[in-house]
A and B are shown apart, each in its own frame.
Chain A
Amino acid sequence: GAVVSQHPSRVICKSGTSVKIECRSLDFQATTMFWYRQFPKQSLMLMATSNEGSKATYEQGVEKDKFLINHASLTLSTLTVTSAHPEDSSFYICSARPWDTEAFFGQGTRLTVV
């Protein structure tokens, strides 16, 4: 299988600051990565599709200026939550489907904005 590493696993930040979450593919090249958010007791909601070397594709209702995605290399995609507020507190997780079959996930990041 493929290995996806996500960092940090847990972060607490002050309201108004920005937080960067990294998602790395360790043993494969990922031209596409997916960023999800999970609210308590709800499903993984796709936020955006990260495309290497081009702009991310955001889902309806996701603010692209709030959730900046950069996919500058074939092994790294980053999600930056800008000017974070308490309502951005959530669980964020990335995944990739390198062979167009099953998805491989990072460990997830629990963000708490205080």
Chain B
Amino acid sequence: ILNVEQSPQSLHVQEGDSTNFTCSFPSSNFYALHWYRWETAKSPEALFVMTLNGDEKKKGRISATLNTKEGYSYLYIKGSQPEDSATYLCAFLAGSARQLTFGSGTQLTVLP
């Protein structure tokens, strides 16, 4: 069983604050690490697919980094807005697998 952990479990921040969450995953047999945003009453949507150690990806105010050797990824949100409120999931893909293993998510609430 692959262990993918996310922290914190939930987070409340004020509008305009910057924030970050952590995803830890196995450091062996790595193929890819995914980040998804899951808004209430919607389907999860992909933010990033990261494959290379040291990768840093950015989409607007959201960015992510990847360290495959130590098995962690950070997701950063700069200047949080209420519309950023969602659950953020990371998912690990092992080299030998077709299916993703998900963390339990970080639930972000941005207060106006």
Contact = CB atoms under 8 A, between A and B. Distances in A.
Interface of A: 4, 32, 34, 36, 41-46, 49, 93, 95, 97, 101-108
Interface of B: 4, 9, 34, 36, 42-46, 49, 89, 91, 98-105
A104 B100 CA distance: 12
A41 to B, nearest CB: 7
B104 A42 contact: yes
Given A101-B49, A103-B34, A4 B102 contact: no
Given A102-B46, A102-B49, A105-B44, A32 B104 contact: no
Chain B at the A interface: SS class: loop
Contacts of B34: 102-103
B102 A49 contact: no
B91 A103 contact: yes
20 contacts: A41-B9, A41-B104, A43-B4, A43-B103, A43-B104, A46-B99, A46-B100, A93-B43, A102-B34, A102-B36, A102-B46, A103-B34, A103-B36, A103-B44, A103-B100, A104-B43, A105-B43, A107-B42, A107-B43, A108-B43
Nearest to A32: B98
B97 to A, nearest CB: 10
Given A41-B104, A43-B104, A103 B98 contact: no
